[in-house]
Amino acid sequence: MRSRTPMAAAILMATITACSPQAGDAARSDATAAPAAKTASVTRNTVQTLTLIGADGARVVLDRAAVAALPREKVSFSRHEDTSVFEGPLLLDVLKRAGVPASPLRKDQQATALLVTAADGYQVVLGLGETDPATRADRIIVADTDDGAPLSAEDGPFMIVAEGDARAARSPRMVVSIQVMPLGR
């Protein structure tokens, strides 16, 4: 068996923990645990808020109005052979509400993961550095509109849109929570 560096071991353990149904379910708040239940397929999101979980475990709950009040970006994005113009704030601007610093991020913040959870239990992990416009030209936004109209109940009220991705796999719909997970020392 190969030896792993402490950083690689930390990333591996965080990913396993985050993706484990038992650990993930226990870590969710009451607001996000019910929608992620595996008993039935979720096709409509009934949770109308976005819960941000900071690196310190503190929670900030944002509603549509709070997200809509942040500076806005428009991103053209294709998913399932349909191209739309999505609009919403940069993910990094939303994360400021949970104590994440503004751009440009410091070197020590590059080893931070973001666990994004959707109402149907779908999860993706993004690197915090990917959200920083000083690091990456393509933007990642928290979309709340699609071609100028509010996201449908099947997609919204919030969706992560990762500009430049070839597939929509890292752009979950029905987003209910984003957890900041420092992996570095």
Indicate the range of 18-32, 45-59, 91-105, 118-132 predicted with least confidence: 18-32
For residue 40, tell me if it sits in a domain. Answer: no
- Please state the rounded mean pLDDT for residues 44-62: 90
Nearest to 141 by CA among 30, 55, 50: 50
- Please state the rounded mean pLDDT for residues 48-68: 94
CB neighbours (10 Å) of residue 28? 20
For residue 91, tell me if it sits in a domain. Answer: yes
Structure tokens at 24: 């993930």
CATH (domain of 11):
3.90.420.10
Phi first, then psi, for residue 133 (nearest 5°) are -60, -20
CA distances from 165 to 18, 49, 63, 104, 130 (A): 22, 26, 27, 22, 12
> What whole-number distance in Å separates Cα of residue 172 and Cα of residue 32?
15
Indicate the range of 52-61, 75-84, 117-126, 150-159 predicted with least confidence: 75-84
* Total tally of structural domains belonging to the chain: 1
Which residues lie closer than 8 Å to 133 by C-beta, 6 or more apart? 90, 92, 103, 139
Strand order in the sheet with 59-63: 59-63, 49-53, 175-182, 112-118, 123-127
For residue 138, tell me if it sits in a domain. Answer: yes
For residue 54, tell me if it sits in a domain. Answer: yes
Q: What is the pTM of this model?
A: 0.76
pLDDT digits (tens, 9 = 90+) for 107-122: 888 889 999 999 999 9
